[in-house]
């Protein structure tokens, strides 16, 4: 299925402030929310509390929002906290239990997107988890499925060839030090897979301070962060933003309206840096 959001609000590391930030992000224009069933980094339950406030006090409906969560394999969980599944169960049962926990946390009968937080320790385990997501999508519990932290196109190809379905979504680090994940990014663009980026701003300080980005920001009266978000969007990348500031929420949401058609040579210069 097509995943249409142009920017996604990320809820990692917000702890007990998650509720207030998610309510604010939606009131400032975000319509897609990313979380994970991983208590170590995300308060998925408090994303659910925010949703209830948005429905009851602000007139939003479930279908107005795109909700994405993740199944986090045991290596990414903090085993000292209550886990959303029995780690001794088979992988498919773990995925199903994790998704049931997410449905309860988010007070919903379906999820717009569920990702494997990362490939598992072995390819057979990754494929078992993937087939569980494929089945949940067929049952209508989940509308889109994907994978995060998958930096080898071969893993994505294996999901499609041996796991029964092409991912709808990939969520990866997109930043200077991995050369903007060129191989997987191109793989996704060629196949119509939504490529979601994290570390987009914090991971590219040299690019943000480059003359080309600064020049577009000055000419368009926008911020360097908006320039990078917009160039990402125009090139098949859907950025995540986990900002805690209202001004930055407004900037992130407004980025998709920026028209760069008259500054194409500066945009090309930035793409040359990114694709070098």
Ligand X SMILES: NC(=O)c1ccc[n+]([C@@H]2O[C@H](COP(=O)([O-])OP(=O)(O)OC[C@H]3O[C@@H](n4cnc5c(N)ncnc54)[C@H](OP(=O)(O)O)[C@@H]3O)[C@@H](O)[C@H]2O)c1
Is the CB of 77 or the CB of 241 nearer to ligand X?
A: 241
| 123 Cα distance to chain centroid | 23
Is the CB of 19 or the CB of 243 nearer to ligand X?
A: 243
Least Å distance, CB 121 to ligand X, is 16
Is the CB of 180 or the CB of 198 nearer to ligand X?
A: 198
Contact 239, 229 (CB under 8 A): yes
Question: For residue 88, what are the contacts with CB-CB under 8 A and spacing of at least 6?
Answer: none
Least Å distance, CB 104 to ligand X, is 20
Least Å distance, CB 97 to ligand X, is 20
Least Å distance, CB 59 to ligand X, is 25
Question: For residue 179, what are the contacts with CB-CB under 8 A and spacing of at least 6?
Answer: 276
Least Å distance, CB 86 to ligand X, is 23
Is the CB of 49 or the CB of 243 nearer to ligand X?
A: 243
**Beta-bridge partners for 239:** 197
Residues forming contacts to ligand X in the complex (CB under 6 A) are 10-12, 34, 148-149, 171, 198-202, 223, 225, 240-245, 248, 251-252
Q: What is 13-43 written as a DSSP string?
A: T-GGGHHHHHHHHHHTT--EEE--S-TTT--
Closest CA to 144 of 69, 85, 91: 69
Q: Cα angle at 207 between 204 and 213, to 5 degrees? A: 135
Is the CB of 81 or the CB of 202 nearer to ligand X?
A: 202
Q: How far apart are CA 183 and CA 209, in angstroms?
A: 25
Least Å distance, CB 4 to ligand X, is 18
Is the CB of 34 or the CB of 168 nearer to ligand X?
A: 34
Is the CB of 57 or the CB of 177 nearer to ligand X?
A: 177
Q: How far apart are CA 33 and CA 102, in angstroms?
A: 13
**In the complex, which residue's CB is closest to ligand X?**
10
Integer CA distances (angstroms), 217 to 7, 96, 201, 223, 266, in order = 19, 46, 15, 5, 11
Least Å distance, CB 272 to ligand X, is 24
């Amino acid at each position: 299925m097509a995943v249409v959001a142009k920017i996604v609000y990320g809820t990692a590391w917000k702890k007990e402030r998650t509720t207030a930030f998610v309510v604010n992000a939606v009131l400032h224009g975000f319509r897609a929310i990313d979380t994970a069933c991983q208590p170590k980094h995300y308060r998925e339950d408090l994303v659910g509390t925010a949703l209830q406030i948005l429905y009851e006090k602000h007139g939003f409906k479930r279908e107005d929002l795109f909700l994405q969560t993740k199944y986090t394999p045991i290596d990414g969980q903090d085993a000292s906290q209550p886990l959303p599944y029995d780690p001794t169960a088979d992988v498919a049962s773990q995925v199903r239990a994790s998704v049931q926990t997410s449905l309860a946390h988010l007070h919903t009968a379906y999820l717009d997107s569920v990702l494997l937080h990362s490939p598992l320790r072995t390819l057979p385990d990754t494929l078992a988890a993937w087939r569980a997501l494929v089945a949940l999508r067929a049952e209508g519990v989940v509308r889109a499925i994907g994978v995060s932290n998958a930096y080898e196109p071969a893993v994505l190809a294996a999901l499609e060839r041996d796991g029964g379905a092409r991912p709808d979504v990939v969520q990866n680090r997109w930043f200077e030090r991995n050369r903007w994940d060129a191989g997987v990014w191109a793989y996704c663009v060629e196949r119509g897979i939504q490529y979601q980026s994290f570390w987009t701003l914090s991971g590219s300080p040299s690019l943000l301070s480059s003359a080309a980005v600064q020049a577009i920001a000055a000419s368009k009266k926008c911020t360097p962060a908006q320039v990078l978000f917009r160039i990402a969007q125009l090139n098949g990348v859907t950025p995540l933003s986990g900002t805690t500031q209202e001004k930055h929420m407004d900037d992130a949401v407004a980025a998709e309206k920026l028209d760069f058609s008259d500054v194409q040579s500066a945009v090309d210069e930035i793409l040359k840096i990114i694709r070098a």
